[in-house]
A and B are shown apart, each in its own frame.
Chain A
Amino acid sequence: MKLYETTIIYDPSLEEIRINEEIEKVTQPIAAAGGEVIDVQRWGKKKLAYLIRKRRDGTYVHVKHKSPPTLIAEMDRRFRLNESVLRHLSVMAPKDEPLPEAAPAEGGEPGADATAAPAIVQD
């Protein structure tokens, strides 16, 4: 089990309910594989720095999870097949970071974590 951070950019035209379904599709296999979903952050609709499949915006979802490394490859495969995923990236979360459970109620502070090593999955 390793600590990962997966960020997924969905098609901006997806409705809230569909996004929930999509997140379910990510979290379910993690739990099924004996992993653990630590945190799911919805960054909402953001402007993309460049066009991806002719979209100017994307709906960002950031998932922090503990998973077996083999699952990352499987996740990558599914994201690629999924038409509503514009982009995804899984990276290893820094290990010396205090576990999010211990951290006081985080309010989406995108400045404290990450920088770790390999496992870059790009589409």
Chain B
Amino acid sequence: MAREGESRSFRRKFCKLCLDKVERIDYKDDRRLARFITDRGKIVPRRISGTCARHQSQITEAVKRARILALLPFTTDQYR
């Protein structure tokens, strides 16, 4: 995508989960999910993380479940 001579160089984003051939994302795997939330606890949008639609929806589902089980925070305002 990046053409030579252009000041701004684009790098094509790719789905990291597709690269790792992840079949399904587990809500119990909070370590993996932690990569897809911001430091405030929000789910990172596709446009930033570059995940494919299929994996993004799995992430969303899993993060929401993990939040219920207090494996991931809803927000980081509390505590501290």
Contact = CB atoms under 8 A, between A and B. Distances in A.
Interface stretch (A18-26, A29-37, A49-57, A67-75): A49-57
Nearest to A43: B28
B10 interface: no
B73 to A, nearest CB: 4
Interface residues of B, number: 22
Contacts of B67: 49
Give the size category of A's interface with B: 20 to 34
B7 interface: no
B16 interface: no
21 contacts: A7-B69, A46-B71, A49-B67, A49-B72, A50-B74, A50-B78, A60-B69, A62-B28, A87-B68, A89-B69, A91-B27, A111-B26, A111-B28, A111-B32, A112-B26, A113-B28, A114-B24, A114-B27, A115-B25, A115-B58, A122-B68
